Amino acid sequence: MVTLKEVAREAGVHPGTASRALNRTTQSLVAAVTVERVRAAADALGYRVDYLARSFKTRRTFSVGVLIPDINNPLFPPIVRGIEDSLAAAGYIALLGNTENEPEREKRVLDGLLGRSIDGLVLATAQRRDGKLAELARQPIPVVLVNRVAEDHGFSSASADDVAGVRAAVAHLGALGHTRIAHVAGPQSLSTGYGRFQAFISAMGHLGCETDNQLVRFAATFSITEGIRCAAELLSVDMPPTAIVAANDMLALGCYTAAEGAGLRCPDDVSIVGYNDMPFMDRLSPPLTTVRIPHYDLGARAGELLLERINHPDAPLRSTILVPQLVVRGSTGRAR
Amino acid sequence: MVTLKEVAREAGVHPGTASRALNRTTQSLVAAVTVERVRAAADALGYRVDYLARSFKTRRTFSVGVLIPDINNPLFPPIVRGIEDSLAAAGYIALLGNTENEPEREKRVLDGLLGRSIDGLVLATAQRRDGKLAELARQPIPVVLVNRVAEDHGFSSASADDVAGVRAAVAHLGALGHTRIAHVAGPQSLSTGYGRFQAFISAMGHLGCETDNQLVRFAATFSITEGIRCAAELLSVDMPPTAIVAANDMLALGCYTAAEGAGLRCPDDVSIVGYNDMPFMDRLSPPLTTVRIPHYDLGARAGELLLERINHPDAPLRSTILVPQLVVRGSTGRAR
DNA sequence: CTGAAAGCGCTTACAG
DNA sequence: CTGAAAGCGCTTACAG
């Protein structure tokens, strides 16, 4: 491998000078002609800087970790793209870690990233009460939360306004004449699951309906299988609901399956609303009415917030809350 | 930060000895009691090895890059999971790069990864004739191709048997009485697009049908929009096809849209077959008949092949070809 | 504007 | 089995 030393010898300067000439930030300390000479020598020899050595010395890697809970959930690719794009503009690269919602895997991946001396971390995996976050808060590494947040976390974050999103969904159903509206809630250990459930209760109040405990089921995970289980239970109570608000699209997919299994047609017999507007949700049978969250923007904002934490560690924390939008499709109709 | 030197002082040994005691591979060179003493000192001080320093010294990072052409295509998450899982077992971490099929972006991401001194590279982005591959072949870094391959590439690879997959799709349509079968071909610059097109011609021959040039359209990208364009053209020729084999599910989704736009019903008016069996394809209206590729296994195999290249650079190259499987769903029916 | 030198935190032949 | 020392390839105060 060609080292800086060899470039320096070729250019007839000291390695320190060669280093300065080749670095954007220190280039101005060197005479223009010298810079040119070093450049030429570097090109001639095919020199490529050894980032490992540089990072070792400077303690900066220009890499940031991104922890994703479930790479199979199409919700995350746009978030990741947003993060990547805003970081790339500053010369950072995103290292993706996939936890599959498994704590053990998460620990392994996080340690793997931390051990690689990343400059920062974007977490899409926060729990409402999260020991991991408390631990990270004690370390000097900048952390930003995206999509999910935690309670009293003390990090910057980019998330969506679930109160507004759920209210729009419930109001839509109310306008269609529904009153027996059920909720397939997400995991209450996650801010999204918990926040949407609270928002549901509040939105039902707005509608003048009390939330019937019979008509709420809690999914253990944001998965199709849990959606099936919860919806099957809801549809077999004495006075079954005429509409279901699912806490996300995966759960809504499960609702579709359960409704079909119960011999019910959507939206004729039961209306279903999802949340997130994952890719392809407009392609379902029937197309899913859901709440669209600007995922790319969420990611882009998270990346910006992280850069801010890295470059200005003492700046105040920020929470960006983006506004979701109800997308009405074929899975919701007038109440029977 | 606690350094090895401090641990050594605490344990009353030389830093070199402390290093040996803390490394699995060199641990056997040190007396058991000493190992214990160093361990205890490290724990007491909360020592964590500085991987950056270690990597700088050893020139190994235990990181491998994974280049993905389109993170929005649900085909890739399972591949990535497979790669991650097989690498994790050996202590490696996967750094994901997302090229979005843009050469410029690809170059930037690849340089970013290469500059970070990765130990190997898994490419899901190979073109049939790929300058980038020729360049990589000249460097010492181990490379493995997954899903797509290149011509005369000289790398190990894990891919699927497109001839078998397409033949199964065409045979299925033939058995349903179709003879005017069209093909929405993928980009011919990619092994998948090219291979499936060639396989289509061959499979049609098997069926005793000559391929009608009128009934083949070439998509510029594996995208829904290109699927729409190609299918719209196919459906407006003089003698339109009764069935379409799309080179992947994205294109098939476009075929759905085009059929709808032409006032045709699937499968009553036109049968559609996809390729890949991405997640949720069983949820479409109608559910998509497609060819399932074992994507997780593809990724897992690619990871194994890469480890083999890393640990045994002189071992012979290997190509693993996995067998796909036709999944018959509602989008295919008897010919009119 | 440039040189000389120290040093980042490890690992690893080389002695003993 | 352990110590002493060199060195990986850079960057960066410090002189001049």
- Taking CA–CA distances from B83, the nearest residue in chain A reads A98
Q: Which nucleotide is at minimal CA–C1' distance from A59?
A: C8
Neighbours of B51 (CB within 10 A): 18
> Separation of CA A85 and C1' D9 in angstroms?
31
d(CA B290, CA B125): 22
Do residue B96 and residue A96 have CB atoms under 8 angstroms apart?
yes
Three-state SS at A21: helix
A182, A255 Cβ separation under 8 angstroms: no
Residue nearest to nucleotide C7 (CA to C1'): A57
SS3 A81: helix
Show the tokens assigned to A2: 């060609």
Q: How far apart are CA A43 and CA A199, in angstroms?
A: 61
Quote the minimal CA–CA distance from A13 to chain B in Å: 25
C-alpha dihedral, A100 to A105 to A106 to A110, nearest 10°: -130
Token pair belonging to A259: 């409704």
Q: Minimal CA–CA distance to A49: which of A27, A22, A13, A24?
A: A22
If you measure CA to CA, which chain A residue comes closest to B52? Answer: A56
Q: Residues B38, B7: contact at Cβ < 8 Å?
A: yes
Tens place of pLDDT per residue across chain A (336 aa): 899 999 999 999 999 999 999 998 899 999 999 999 999 999 999 998 999 999 999 999 999 999 999 887 888 989 999 999 999 888 898 888 888 888 888 888 888 888 888 999 999 999 999 988 998 988 889 999 999 999 977 899 999 999 999 999 999 999 999 999 999 999 999 999 999 999 999 999 999 988 899 999 999 999 999 999 999 999 999 999 999 999 999 999 999 999 999 999 999 999 999 999 998 899 998 999 999 999 999 999 999 999 999 999 889 999 999 999 999 999 999 998
Which DSSP category does A210 fall into?
A: P
Spell out which residues of chain A touch residue B56, defining contact as CB-CB under 8 Å: 52-53, 55-56
Q: What is the DSSP track for B55-88?
A: HHHHS--SEEEEEES-TTSTTHHHHHHHHHHHHH
The token duo for A12 is 């007839």
Strand D, nucleotides covered by protein (CB < 7 Å) = 1-13
Cβ-contact A275, A249 below 8 angstroms: yes
Q: Scanning the structure block, which residue is given the tokens 């699912």?
A: A246
Residue B269 DSSP label:
T
CB contact under 8 A, A93 and B112: yes
pLDDT at B97: 85
Report pLDDT for B117. Answer: 86
How far is residue B289's CA from residue B266's CA, in Å, rounded to a whole number? 11
pLDDT at A94: 86
Query: What is the per-residue pLDDT for B125?
Result: 96
Chain B hits for A283, CB-CB cut-off 8 Å, are 253, 256, 280, 283-285
Tell me the nearest-neighbour CA distance from A201 into chain B, angstroms: 30
Nucleotide nearest to A30 (CA to C1'): C1
Which residues of chain B have a CB within 8 Å of the CB of A117?
A: 50-52
Cα B98 from chain centroid (whole Å): 12
B303 neighbourhood in chain A, CB within 8 Å: none
All domains of chain A in start order, with CATH: 4-49 (no CATH), 61-160+295-323 (3.40.50.2300), 162-293 (3.40.50.2300)
Q: Which of B72, B14, B63, B7 is nearest to B39 (CA)?
A: B7
Judged by CB atoms closer than 8 Å, whether chains meet at A115 and B51 is answered as yes
**So what's the pLDDT on residue A189?**
96
Separation between the CA of B16 and the C1’ of C11 (whole angstroms): 8
For B115, the closest chain A residue by CA position comes to A51
Report residue B288 as tokens: 């998509």
Residue A269: closest CA among A184, A178, A186: A178
Q: How does DSSP classify residue B316?
A: P
**How far is Cα B264 from Cα B256, in angstroms, rounded to an integer?**
9
The predicted pLDDT at position B138 comes to 86
Q: Which residue of B has its CA nearest to A257?
A: B283
pLDDT, tens digit only, all 336 positions of chain B? 899 999 999 999 999 999 999 998 899 999 999 999 999 999 999 998 999 999 999 999 999 999 999 887 888 989 999 999 999 888 898 888 888 888 888 988 888 888 888 999 999 999 999 988 998 988 889 999 999 999 977 899 999 999 999 999 999 999 999 999 999 999 999 999 999 999 999 999 999 988 899 999 999 999 999 999 999 999 999 999 999 999 999 999 999 999 999 999 999 999 999 999 998 899 998 999 999 999 999 999 999 999 999 999 889 999 999 999 999 999 999 998
Please check whether residue A270 is in contact with residue A241, taking contact to mean a CB–CB distance below 8 angstroms: yes
Phi/psi for B144 (5° steps) reads -130, 140
Q: Are A306 and A142 in contact (CB under 8 A)?
A: yes
